Chains A and B, each alone.
Chain A
């Protein structure tokens, strides 16, 4: 190993430690790492620009703009009230329905955004039912991480995998949606069974839910029609992007541009809602991991993995699935996946094995692993923070008691799925 490789590894590890320990903001930590590599001239500006995956950045920015506009319509509140009324305010059914609803929304929107859309309406409904919101919120946050795994755009690791591995929206739908549906149904029913005793209310209280008027939730009908039309076109675009020869980012950004044009909302008001810290976090990580790849560290790691697994596809796939899940339960899955992508590519190049099943193993492990602990996924951390401010504390222990066994169950289901349908 040469000096440049050693320095690159040191920068990567220090950045990783700073991100994990949360001593400083994760975006600032990643930016420091990327800037150090540029300042000490391990890479130059040209390299740094090359390393940035513009497809991932484009999908993230595009979808953030679309969501910032759609949420102004009140659509998600409308759907939640409608769902609660559909089951006549019965909390035993609301917990299932809200879980499934969160997962479906999360398959198309960012998990954190989805959970931020669901929390307010859940708090209001649980307040009316005089119940603790925690069972509903737990069901939603766990479901958001599960639902996000189902599609190319549901979770940032999938966007990165899709972009780097050249996998399209339909590839994710065909290969990941079926096992995710099974995992989701099993999970929401287990969550309901866990909280069963806390979900009984008098019929009198259910009446309050029936008195809610879902129509008042719709703030701007014209904007709703425009937004739904564009959202339909975006989803259609995702289904067809490979066929039409467009990147997924082109679809997302085109949709965002059209919506910005026809919504008439001031662009400043929308762009301020784009989560720029997340975008800069990605850009910086791409630079750091890109450097490791350029200086040959990733190739070295790939060789070590090949030696360890002897190039056995089943063994490699299961190691990736379980290691990703366990590590993602404690670490941020974005830098982890960013590191794993070139490594898996390297396995394909050096070992000559079919790496497509490994992408699915990585996606299932990294996305579902986030349910393992409170710090496993951004959605969990954000939810706990907001709930604490609302007077409901979800501790690391509380979350892990429910999340970790559920995560293990979901990874067992994934293992069975991979063994039966992918790792053959």
Chain B
């Protein structure tokens, strides 16, 4: 505990000197792990008295699952997420889906590196935007009501 406090104070000081507004609160960090047919599905979230719970999926691929005001919403979110993973695993297309997802995440990193480390001209912007829009349209067009398999919760982005 003492070591944690020292580290926290030190980092807080450095961040404040950089101009940040730092708020630290006492809480507990929880790691949740499931094993579904050999695949690890895991989550991380925090519990604190300020009633803000940050849920993040860690595996099979990292994704912020949201900020919740009630702990039961966190459990519900994990429950739904897990059910959906089970369905995808059962479908036999999980490996392909993972591959695709990995590529998308890597592409996002590539894009960031491109803009952070290189000079990018306007045309390049438009080209990439055009390609991404095509992929998004393809995804949206495939999400038709007759092919829907999960109904407990509506999709958030489609």
Contact check: which of B2, B13, B19, B49 meets A217 at CB < 8 Å? B13
Can you name the residue of chain A whose Cβ is closest to the Cβ of B18?
A216
On whether A216 and B16 interact (CB within 8 A), knowing A120-B9, A120-B10, A123-B10, the answer reads yes
Instruction: Give B29 Cβ to nearest chain A Cβ, in Å.
Output: 16
Which residue in B2, B14, B26, B49 is a CB contact (below 8 Å) of A386? B2
Distance of B114 from chain A, by nearest CB (Å): 33
- Are B6 and A119 in contact, CB atoms less than 8 angstroms apart? yes
Given contacts A266-B49, A269-B49, contact A385 B3 (CB under 8 A): yes
How many interface residues does A have (CB within 8 Å)? 22
The distance from the CB of A274 to the nearest CB of chain B, in whole angstroms, is 12
Taking CB atoms, residues of chain A closer than 8 Å to B17 are 212-213, 216
Whether A349 is near chain B, meaning CB under 8 Å from some CB there, is: no
Determine whether B5 belongs to the interface, using a CB cutoff of 8 Å to chain A. Answer: yes
The answer to whether B2 touches A116, judged by C-beta atoms less than 8 angstroms apart, is yes
- In the bound assembly, the distance between CA atoms of A272 and B17 in angstroms comes to 28
* Shortest Cβ distance from residue A78 to the other chain B in the assembled complex, whole angstroms: 10
Residues on the A chain within 8 Å of B16, using CB: 216-217, 219
Rounded to whole Å, the gap between the CB of B13 and the closest CB of chain A is 5
User: Quick one: which of A338-393 are within 8 Å of B by CB?
Assistant: 382, 385-386, 389
The interface centre, meaning the residue of A117, A121, A216, A266 with most chain B CB atoms within 10 A of its CB, is: A216
Chain B residues with Cβ below 8 Å from A269 are: 25-26, 49
Q: For chain A, residues 88 to 135, give those with C-beta under 8 angstroms from any C-beta of chain B.
A: 112, 116-117, 119-121, 123-124
**Contact between A116 and B26, CB atoms less than 8 A apart:** no
Whether the pair A272, B26 counts as a contact (CB closer than 8 A) is yes
Cβ-based interface call for A227 (8 A) = no
Interface hits, B19-36 → A, CB 8 Å: 19, 25-26
A212 neighbours in B (Cβ, 8 Å): 17
Cα distance A123–B10 in the bound complex, in angstroms:
7
Q: Once bound together, how far apart are the Cα atoms of A186 and B88, in whole Å?
A: 73
In the complex the two chains form, is B6's CB within 8 Å of A124's CB? no
Which residue, B2, B7, B49, has most C-beta atoms of chain A within 10 A?
B2
Chain A positions within 8 Å of B2 at CB level:
112, 116, 382, 385-386
Let me know if A268 is at the binding interface, CB within 8 A.
yes
Question: Closest residue of chain A to B14, judged by CB?
Answer: A124
Cα A424 to Cα B26 with chains together (Å): 54
- Which residues of B have CB within 8 Å of A272? 26
A382 to B10: give the CA distance in the assembly, Å. 16
Q: CA–CA, A125 to B9, complex, Å? A: 13
In the assembly, what is the distance between CA of A121 and CA of B17, in Å?
12
> Are B26 and A124 in contact (CB-based, < 8 A)?
no
Distance in Å: Cβ of B22 to nearest Cβ of chain A? 8
Does A400 interact with chain B (Cβ within 8 Å)? no
Contact of A124 among B3, B5, B10 (CB under 8 A): B10
Q: How far is the CB of B17 from chain A (nearest CB, A)?
A: 6
Please give me the residue from chain B that is nearest to A76 by CB atom.
B9
- Determine the chain A residues whose CB is within 8 A of the CB of B10 once the complex forms: 119-121, 123-124
Q: Which residues of B contact A415 (CB under 8 A)?
A: none
Whether A77 is near chain B, meaning CB under 8 Å from some CB there, is yes
Q: What is the bound-complex CA distance between A272 and B25, given in angstroms? A: 12
Complex CA distance for A123 and B5, rounded to whole angstroms: 14
From the candidates B13, B19, B25, name the one contacting A77 in the complex (CB within 8 A).
B13
Measured between alpha carbons, how far is A121 from B7 in the docked complex, in Å? 10
CB-CB under 8 A for A116 and B13, given A266-B49, A269-B26, A272-B26? no
Q: B22's closest neighbor in chain A, by CB?
A: A219
Q: How far is the CA of A228 from the CA of B13 in the complex (A)?
A: 21
Q: Which residue of A lies closest to B5 (CB)?
A: A116
**10 A-B pairs with least C-beta separation:** A120-B10, A120-B9, A216-B16, A386-B6, A389-B3, A119-B6, A120-B6, A124-B13, A123-B10, A386-B3
- Residues of chain B having any CB pair with chain A under 8 Å: 2-3, 5-7, 9-10, 13-14, 16-17, 19, 25-26, 49
* 9 further A-B pairs in the complex, CB-CB below 8 A; given A77-B13, A121-B10: A116-B2, A119-B10, A120-B7, A120-B9, A216-B19, A219-B16, A266-B49, A269-B49, A385-B2
Write 26 A-B pairs (CB below 8 A) sorted by A numbering: A77-B13, A116-B2, A116-B6, A117-B9, A119-B6, A119-B10, A120-B7, A120-B9, A121-B9, A121-B10, A121-B13, A123-B10, A124-B10, A124-B13, A212-B17, A216-B17, A217-B16, A266-B49, A268-B49, A269-B25, A269-B26, A272-B26, A382-B2, A386-B2, A386-B3, A389-B3
